[in-house]
Structure 1
């Protein structure tokens, strides 16, 4: 939001999750949205989903359009890379709702690195682990066939490795592309890294996050959920979209 735009007159922030059959997923994203509301009192912040969970994105946009006093919306994808949903599904939905913009995905960004590092620390990672020649990290993400998505995840892995003191961090994926988490674990083992943590690059519990954690030979971090840094990042992407020319935002910066 711009400095001259009071919260009550700002576009609605719609945080858009993928959707999951795991009942914990929508509840977790609801907590994240609650934290965003706490950070920006007065701003209309809502949750929507691309599929599987209510409210679906078209319904959320219809509700915003029905409120004549609300000047449009900004869709903030609760996704970490610019794959098909960010490049196609969200812009298609926005095109049907005049005044709607699409913000950049959440990653890569230093706030995301902060959240990932904190979740690893909660799982048992210490500064000593970062200095060990036996340790490594697999950054487990959903995966996409979009080359830009893979490049963003690899950049995020590099940033996390720097944050952890130079430990090797290998990006791995639950679907669509390689390497898988087991393949990344074998690659680290070939380098003598047998004490490997799995960093969960997922917003909420679900099938992919559960499968990735199950492969961990040592510790696995929890999904990012309502981490404060993630809430700040959602607001940052919203404000970025508002500060730029009125067009749909897709680039991760």
Structure 2
């Protein structure tokens, strides 16, 4: 049996967020109809992750609908997995950075009216975790490449600097007076709206149910599920055999 895919959203008081996440998971189910796909939230929305895990049996892969290696991915999700002692759980990598994510960002910018040569602020939630900031910077670098080399500056709604207005001013000081804002959020919410409101030009919508994002959710799931299977193989290997080596026939 395949492990259940449990998509983990942050949660938001914005009613559009839950609708958006459900639409994304509908796309995931269309791509993989035989896979059991569930939803759990870290906070603010139901179902909460702990409640979802209580309804799952056997094995599960938690796929964070989050874009970097922040506190939720490093602490909250492993803690939730540890509390679900009846399950074998693997936590997948966050969605970012990845080329599929960059394609979704590109499409949302074009939909919003981005024109070639326009600099971009990549607006993210923000985290004090340096790995999360590194992931956002890497996504900004990949997006800059996808946009033909125009500057893409990361900015944040909370926890760290620069803010979106500060990033816009910094670009203007470098001679870039046409600036668009890319939304580094999976769903609508307070931070996404705050960043969009600070845009001096086009403001892209959150990534939402973009087809590339659905494919990326499944890719993260597949990698984590494969790692979980690999972790079970050593008990079947002859002594001294390394991970990755095939098990001889009859062993």
Q: Would you call these one fold, judging by a TM-score over 0.5?
A: yes
TM-score, structure 2 normalization: 0.89
Pairing 1:35–2:27 present = yes
- Which ranges of structure 1 fall in alignment gaps of 5 or more residues? 1-8, 66-70, 248-253
TM-score, structure 1 normalization: 0.88
User: CA–CA distance in 1 between the matches of 2:37 and 2:140?
Assistant: 30
SS in 1 for 2:153: strand
User: CA–CA distance in 1 between the matches of 2:158 and 2:214?
Assistant: 26
Shift, 1:190, TM fit: 0.6
- Which ranges of structure 2 fall in alignment gaps of 5 or more residues? 232-251
Alignment of 1:49-64 (within 5 A): 49-64=41-56
The aligned residue for residue 61 of structure 2 is: 74
The aligned residue for residue 21 of structure 1 is: 13
Alignment of 1:125-164 (within 5 A): 125-126=114-115, 129=116, 132=117, 135-164=118-147
Cα RMSD of the aligned pairs, angstroms, is 1.0
Q: Is the 2:90–2:228 Cα contact (8 Å) retained in structure 1?
A: no
Shift, 1:222, TM fit: 0.3
Question: In the alignment, which of 209, 216, 224 is matched to residue 241 of structure 1?
Answer: 224
Shift, 1:76, TM fit: 0.3
User: CA–CA distance in 2 between the matches of 1:245 and 1:235?
Assistant: 15
Question: In the alignment, which of 73, 76, 80 is matched to residue 86 of structure 1?
Answer: 73
Q: How many residues align?
A: 228
Pairing 1:188–2:177 present = no
User: CA–CA distance in 2 between the matches of 1:215 and 1:173?
Assistant: 11
User: CA–CA distance in 2 between the matches of 1:206 and 1:217?
Assistant: 20
Shift, 1:200, TM fit: 0.3
Q: Is the 2:25–2:37 Cα contact (8 Å) retained in structure 1?
A: yes
Shift, 1:99, TM fit: 0.1
SS in 2 for 1:64: coil
Shift, 1:205, TM fit: 0.6
Shift, 1:244, TM fit: 1.2
Task: Look at both structures and tell me which one has the larger radius of gyration over its CA atoms.
Answer: 2
Q: Deviations over 1:135-192 (max 9, x none)?
A: 2100001110000100110010000000000000000011111111111111101101
Shift, 1:72, TM fit: 1.1
